Amino acid sequence: MEKINYDFKNRTALVTGGAQGFGLDIAKRFLNSGAKVIIWDIDSKMIKEAIKKLDNANLSSNIIDVSNYKEVESCINDITKKSNIDILINNAGITGPTSPLWEYDVDMWKKVVDINLMGTFNCCKTVVPNMIKNNYGRIVNVASVAGKDGNANASAYSVGKAGAIGLTKSLGKELADKNIAVNAVTPAGAKTRILDQMTKEHVQRMLSKVPRGRFLEVEEFTSLICWLSSEENTFSTAAVFDISGGRSTY
């Protein structure tokens, strides 16, 4: 199926976790649609590989830990001195280990929540003032069906993504009187590196819940992100868009 390229000319997009998986494909589609793209990732090796792979003059990058507020704030201040940020895709996230809650390592539980929830908060808090100043913005927070359903043995991940959904609804309403849309997407399992962080049993359990009987393709996910990030999305905000192959129907 032919991909639709939206018009992102004269727009700057920031994609966190942009050096791999969903983030890399989103960055690629944005670049092909005329946007300037900044990818953030904590993995310097993956960033180098992504820059080489995408090979585009409109691409720049930063090595950032999104859970570190001071780091995020400093980088956003540097960026907005030279450019507006029109689109923010909060895609950075980790699943963490699979374990019953009462056996979950406390430090790892906190790390998973910090990246998935606090990372989203940190980026929104620092980017939104620039969007308010320009009365334009599109924010898409990548959550998960785990945030709606709660996955057994993945309490930290489920909590982090549930928090990102709540943040989306609150922020979307706070900005509803402006030309700024804030939405969340809730994918089920997809063919990305994040599956490598899970046990085979956990992956199979995830797949068994999907009526479509397969994992989400990255390109399918990117198409939804692009529409939510475009000027065509003039009304939807504070909403949660499911892309789970029928697993979640609410």
Phi/psi for 240 (5° steps) reads: -120, 120
pLDDT of 197 reads 67
**SS3 sequence, the chain?**
CCCCCCCCCCCEEEEECCCCHHHHHHHHHHHHCCCEEEEEECCHHHHHHHHHHHCCCCEEEEECCCCCHHHHHHHHHHHHCCCCCCEEEECCCCCCCCCCHHHCCHHHHHHHHHHHHHHHHHHHHHHHHHHHHHCCEEEEEECCCHHHHCCCCCHHHHHHHHHHHHHHHHHHHHCCCCCEEEEEEEECCECCHHHHHCCHHHHHHHHHCCCCCCCECHHHHHHHHHHHHCCCCCCCCCEEEEECCCCCCC
pLDDT of 103 reads 98
pLDDT of 193 reads 66
pLDDT of 245 reads 87
Is residue 1 domain-resident?
no
pLDDT in tens, the chain (250 residues): 567 779 999 999 999 999 999 999 999 999 999 999 999 999 999 999 999 999 999 999 999 999 999 999 999 999 999 999 999 999 999 999 999 999 999 999 999 999 999 999 999 999 999 999 999 999 999 999 999 999 999 999 999 999 999 999 999 999 999 999 999 999 987 766 666 767 788 778 878 888 887 888 999 999 999 999 999 999 999 999 999 888 887 7
Is residue 172 domain-resident?
yes
If one counts the domains in the chain, the total is 1
**Residue entry with tokens 């509803």:** 176
CATH of the domain at 44: 3.40.50.720
**Residue entry with tokens 């990117």:** 222
pLDDT of 201 reads 82
Is residue 56 domain-resident?
yes
Structural domain boundaries, residue 154: 12-243
pLDDT of 4 reads 73
pLDDT of 249 reads 72
pLDDT of 191 reads 67
Is residue 71 domain-resident?
yes
pLDDT of 62 reads 98
Is residue 7 domain-resident?
no
Active site residue 250: no
Is residue 4 domain-resident?
no
Is residue 3 domain-resident?
no
Selecting among 69, 104, 136, 157, the annotated active-site residue is 157
**Within a 13 Å sphere around the CA of 126, how many CA atoms are in the beta-carbon half?**
23
Is residue 121 domain-resident?
yes
